[in-house]
Amino acid sequence: MSKSILILGARSDIARACAQHYAAEGYAVRLAARDIAPLKVDATDLHLRHRVAATTHRFDALDTAKFAAFIDGLPELPDVVLCAVGTMGDQSESQSNPEAAAIVLRSNFEGPALFLGMMAERFETRGSGVVIGISSVAGDRGRASNYVYGAAKAGFTAFLSGLRNRFSRSAIKVITVKPGFVATKMTDGMDLNPRLTAQPEAVANAIWRAQAKGRDVVYVKPIWFVVMAIIRTLPERIFKKTKL
Ligand SMILES: NC(=O)c1ccc[n+]([C@@H]2O[C@H](COP(=O)([O-])OP(=O)(O)OC[C@H]3O[C@@H](n4cnc5c(N)ncnc54)[C@H](OP(=O)(O)O)[C@@H]3O)[C@@H](O)[C@H]2O)c1
């Protein structure tokens, strides 16, 4: 029987590239998103192009009460779960509107962490599984320009780290992906340095390679590892004066 991957936030540009990559490798693909109507086109395309099973499933990362029933309703417990759910939000709005900030915190941290935690429990019962969470370099250090999003991603990164640590002696693998800038809907209109910006297909490639090689944390463009190492080590008295 072929392996399968569950992709959460399947309408994301990064997620769509991952779906193509895993389907090309023969994986059945379970696409999950809030609005499944547009996903059906993707599912048909994946099926015709790669001759794999592709299904669509309604999923809202904020609806934590429905997570268990959602997992029970899947065609099978997948071999791999990949979470691409996220929202950048608007930093200035988050500063003045706690409800807007809560959506950013819950969409990037609470929902993804709780869901992947539940999947890991199911994987533990079965004895195998791969958990992949797309976090962000924004979580490596809080910056004035996006610290609500960054704080949520920092929480998600820490959660994935703990999960990986817990399952380190088992066949359950946990991969944290820190893509750096990626040219997607999320960054549309932003003035991004091309040397620091990846395409969604490059992210999908990096994720596939990380799984194949059993890697733990992936910076898609290696330069981001260096950039963030420098940013993390800047003393606070200098860092607080920077405009990053
Ligand atoms: N682009 C970058 O530079 C970059 C950098 C670092 C990390 N990331 C992370 O990469 C992941 C994918 O982002 P992307 O760049 O591909 O952007 P994107 O195209 O905007 O994808 C984000 C996806 O998250 C989904 N989503 C948001 N809230 C949700 C909820 N409550 N329930 C279910 N789905 C929800 C959105 O669904 P709808 O289609 O329904 O709106 C959207 O498809 C995100 O976690 C993002 O934080 C992106």
CATH top-level class of 4-239: alpha beta
pLDDT (0 to 100) of residue 244: 81
The ligand 1 atom at the shortest distance from the C-alpha of residue 106 is 31
227: which 2 tokens? 């950039």
Residues with CB under 6 A from ligand 1: 9, 11-14, 33-35, 59-62, 84-87, 107, 134, 136, 179, 181-182, 184-187
Domain range annotation of the chain: 4-239
From first to last of its 244 residues, the chain has per-residue pLDDT tens of 789 999 999 999 999 999 999 999 999 999 999 999 999 999 999 999 999 999 999 999 999 999 999 999 999 999 999 999 999 999 999 999 999 999 999 999 999 999 999 999 999 999 999 999 999 999 999 999 999 999 999 999 999 999 999 999 999 999 999 999 999 999 999 999 999 999 999 999 999 999 999 999 999 999 999 999 999 999 999 999 998 8
Whole-structure pTM value: 0.97
Average pLDDT, the chain: 97
